[in-house]
Chains A and B, each alone.
Chain A
């Protein structure tokens, strides 16, 4: 793929298209949130164990809840355009700071999961398809179905039970050791150790998906004409697999992975809860029950941006993988 001017124009065009898409997503989210009964002031007072009416009125005024909805919406849209995502009154912090603080761990977990699930899925799918209908294929297929069907939180808890409590090989929960307060390289290793179980838990589901998809795609490609031609040319089987079939079969997996990035954020709520991983999933979950609309809208906005960006990246990856695809 040549990064010519056409590709660049394509990217710019896609980015320009992204702006109205994201704004309409924000609008939709705002309207959806208004449907939820109860407001942030009620929740805050509830958490406070009760509050006098003067306090509740104070809160409502602070949050701007006493203003009409369309005014609130217009103010919010205006702020979003200047990347001012507002203030979370419940957390006494600007929303952007809250989100950026939690973004690191989320990206770490999501990135690790993406790598493990895609590579694992491709490899297992490959192994299954090249030994189709043997015990190896059947074993992998059954394992994939089980991993797909088992609930994430159960897998997580069982892994903790086995590896942390019984075997004591890995830490129980959290992102790092809370007593040692490591610095530098020790900290990196510590975080990596804590990352193992959450990544495995979250990847199993997606790995199962990509395994089955890869296997089906490979079997599909095997029957194609170009494979027959290559075989009749005298090319070795493993070379056919590696050089030709693999690259074609990977395309649907890449598509799926791109689509799943959005759901990775949601699936991480469960894993973040079980492993006390300080990510955005937990933040979104808590802010929903706290009716912290500013924070929720901020997180939704970020997710929308992320999904749009990832879709663009996936399309560019296609260009790299498949020379038949061109822009424009």
Chain B
């Protein structure tokens, strides 16, 4: 064989090898381009996700800001702005090594100084959940631009679950460091490191987010633009999705009966994935300081009387799973969930309820009723009214006469959490990424705070459960934590200060032409960097 032939053959072989290495990229076939229209309801009041955790805000800002970590469906942390991290054995030091060459949308570099500022000056001080999430953090040391060391007074394993771009967005110190962070002029003009840049917010209409060409994941994002639309009327939201003028809608933006209809269309896909890190649980709250709900047997009876399967099938159109207790079954993957508790979802539930009420000393009078109460309906919308009515009927079956009361949100919040002027009301609370963040507030004695909403409104607590929660918050070992929470779930299910009805499954309506939209347990609260349009 001549030298030139050998040479050309080697060259051909080398080129072939190179092509084969590149092939996996081609095989994925993501296409560049396209505009995604997302429906968010209601319109967020601001875009300052470091200052407010109002639900719709995150649906916009999670695409603009990144966090130190991301999470997969197994709930385990993955690198995002932090390339790697180590936790000391006692859990009091967490060292993050940050990614290099990451720029904010205005071109300035992202460094550990931004991490220190975000945690210590923003989230720890003014973020509604950050105040608790980072309360153990005493300092964030920055030995160099690529290293951020969190120093904690006590171990806080739950903190590692709360570092997504949605929950704890990394904001630029050079912008928010000057001026009052509580009323900053850039509050509604977010500048982050995320895959999409904020362009404009036409109030009442839309938010426009354009592709970030300097995103630190080269090649991404695939979409050119994301437009978030606001439509107050639910019928027109459904119409937009049907016509293909809008492509993503979640968090109850589409009424449940329309979801069923849309799911039958060939162009639409409906999924319940993407809420595993939110885990909303529907509950019925007792006022445990007001008779007759100061009696545990009466509370247990009501818990038996509420028909969970009926509510899921008829009010939420099948989008739900019966709840066994305070902690959602989404935590099964991390070993913190157990269903080994008193089961209220049994076939002879009505019988059990009647028996308990008799034992509690509330026999049926001549007209069949045992006692009367007022049931405050959650003023969030249609399905809550239906749920209130269903509960009223189910209570009537066991001899409890409930009168319904319906007020607007601020009035209801004041009545329930400030005046404690209620017997029974319903609500749904997020479990969030870790029970410390979302579950403890429901029955810890330290969270009986008059005037603060969505904390311990039933005012029930016990020294035993308090101790379990305090221990579990500090325990770094996952197995030991699981055991503590198992105990907690058993005791709280038995005491029944709250009736845990169901784990809500929000449906997300998607247009099938858009792929890889819901790819993490944060769902719409994710950055959408992998989403692409298949034309």
Q: Mark A27-59, 1 if CB is under 8 A from B, else 0.
A: 000000000111100111111111111111010
A98 within 8 A of B: yes
Q: How far is the CA of A326 from the CA of B132 in the complex (A)?
A: 71
Interface residues on B, range: 35 or more
Q: How far is the CA of A114 from the CA of B233 in the complex (A)?
A: 24
Chain B contacts of A244 at CB under 8 A? none
Q: Do B452 and A53 touch across chains, with their CB atoms under 8 A apart?
A: yes
B413 within 8 A of A: yes
Chain B contacts of A90 at CB under 8 A? 45-46
Q: Do B205 and A275 touch across chains, with their CB atoms under 8 A apart?
A: no
Q: Do B131 and A42 touch across chains, with their CB atoms under 8 A apart?
A: no
Q: Mark A71-94, 1 if CB is under 8 A from B, else 0.
A: 000000000000000010111110
Given that A157-B235, A179-B35 are known contacts, is A39 also in contact with B52, CB under 8 Å in the complex? no
Q: How far is the CA of A179 from the CA of B451 in the complex (A)?
A: 43
Given that A178-B37, A178-B205 are known contacts, is A45 also in contact with B410, CB under 8 Å in the complex? no
Chain A contacts of B341 at CB under 8 A? none
Interface residues on A, range: 35 or more
Q: Do B229 and A178 touch across chains, with their CB atoms under 8 A apart?
A: yes
Chain A contacts of B429 at CB under 8 A? 49-50
Count A-B pairs with CB separation below 8 Å. 177
Q: Do B236 and A51 touch across chains, with their CB atoms under 8 A apart?
A: no
Q: How far is the CA of A46 from the CA of B132 in the complex (A)?
A: 17
B53 within 8 A of A: yes
Q: How far is the CA of A78 from the CA of B513 in the complex (A)?
A: 56
A254 within 8 A of B: no
Q: Do A47 and B54 touch across chains, with their CB atoms under 8 A apart?
A: yes
Give residues of chain B (384-422) contacting chain A, Cβ–Cβ below 8 Å.
Answer: 408-411, 413-415, 417-418
A289 within 8 A of B: yes
Spot the interface stretch: B13-21, B107-115, B181-189.
B181-189
B441 within 8 A of A: yes
Q: Do A289 and B409 touch across chains, with their CB atoms under 8 A apart?
A: yes
Q: How far is the CA of A67 from the CA of B455 in the complex (A)?
A: 26
Partner of B46, one of A50, A52, A91: A91
Chain A contacts of B230 at CB under 8 A? 276
Chain B contacts of A56 at CB under 8 A? 451-452
Q: How far is the CA of A172 from the CA of B449 in the complex (A)?
A: 46
Partner of A98, one of B126, B203, B418, B455: B203
A283 within 8 A of B: yes
Q: How far is the CA of A44 from the CA of B454 in the complex (A)?
A: 12
Q: Do B409 and A46 touch across chains, with their CB atoms under 8 A apart?
A: yes
Chain B contacts of A105 at CB under 8 A? 204
Nearest CB to that of B187 among chain A residues? A92
Q: Do A164 and B408 touch across chains, with their CB atoms under 8 A apart?
A: no
Q: Do A50 and B232 touch across chains, with their CB atoms under 8 A apart?
A: no
A304 within 8 A of B: no
Chain B contacts of A93 at CB under 8 A? 187-188
B202 within 8 A of A: yes
Q: Do B131 and A276 touch across chains, with their CB atoms under 8 A apart?
A: no
Q: What's the least CB distance linking B121 to chain A, in Å?
A: 14
Q: Do A164 and B239 touch across chains, with their CB atoms under 8 A apart?
A: yes
Q: What's the least CB distance linking A156 to chain B, in Å?
A: 8
Given that A46-B413, A55-B128 are known contacts, is A101 also in contact with B454, CB under 8 Å in the complex? no
Q: Do A52 and B205 touch across chains, with their CB atoms under 8 A apart?
A: no
Give residues of chain B (236-259) contacting chain A, Cβ–Cβ below 8 Å.
Answer: 236, 239-240, 242-243, 245
Q: Do B453 and A51 touch across chains, with their CB atoms under 8 A apart?
A: yes
Q: Do A62 and B182 touch across chains, with their CB atoms under 8 A apart?
A: yes
Given that A58-B126, A164-B239, A274-B236 are known contacts, is A179 also in contact with B227, CB under 8 Å in the complex? yes
Q: What's the least CB distance linking A215 to chain B, in Å?
A: 34
Q: How far is the CA of A220 from the CA of B466 in the complex (A)?
A: 81
Q: What's the least CB distance linking B241 to chain A, in Å?
A: 11
Nearest CB to that of B47 among chain A residues? A92
Q: Do B128 and A45 touch across chains, with their CB atoms under 8 A apart?
A: yes
Nearest CB to that of A87 among chain B residues? B183
B222 within 8 A of A: no
Q: How far is the CA of A276 from the CA of B231 in the complex (A)?
A: 5
Partner of A47, one of B45, B182, B183, B203: B45
Q: Do A48 and B53 touch across chains, with their CB atoms under 8 A apart?
A: yes
Nearest CB to that of B240 among chain A residues? A172
B173 within 8 A of A: no
Chain B contacts of A53 at CB under 8 A? 449, 451-452
Q: Do B128 and A52 touch across chains, with their CB atoms under 8 A apart?
A: yes
A185 within 8 A of B: no
B321 within 8 A of A: no
Q: Do B418 and A42 touch across chains, with their CB atoms under 8 A apart?
A: yes
Chain A contacts of B184 at CB under 8 A? 92
A311 within 8 A of B: no
Q: Do A165 and B243 touch across chains, with their CB atoms under 8 A apart?
A: yes
Chain B contacts of A43 at CB under 8 A? 409-410, 413
Q: Do B410 and A39 touch across chains, with their CB atoms under 8 A apart?
A: yes
Nearest CB to that of A279 among chain B residues? B204
Q: How far is the CA of A164 from the CA of B455 in the complex (A)?
A: 45
Partner of A50, one of B204, B245, B410, B453: B453
B55 within 8 A of A: yes
A263 within 8 A of B: no
Q: How far is the CA of A278 from the CA of B206 in the complex (A)?
A: 9
B304 within 8 A of A: no
Q: What's the least CB distance linking B54 to chain A, in Å?
A: 4
Q: How far is the CA of A291 from the CA of B407 in the complex (A)?
A: 14
Q: Could you list 20 further interchain pairs (A-B, Cβ under 8 angstroms) beyond the known A278-B204, A289-B408?
A: A42-B413, A42-B451, A46-B410, A47-B54, A49-B429, A50-B441, A52-B452, A53-B449, A53-B451, A53-B452, A93-B188, A102-B204, A174-B206, A272-B204, A274-B232, A275-B233, A276-B231, A282-B232, A286-B42, A286-B43
Binding site for B on A (CB under 8 A): 36-39, 42-56, 58, 62, 87, 89-93, 98, 101-102, 105, 153, 157, 160, 164-165, 172-176, 178-179, 181, 272-279, 282-283, 286, 289-291
| Nearest 4 A/B pairs, CB to CB | A278-B204, A50-B454, A38-B410, A47-B54
5 A–B contacts from the bound complex (CB under 8 Å): A42-B413, A43-B410, A62-B183, A92-B46, A273-B233
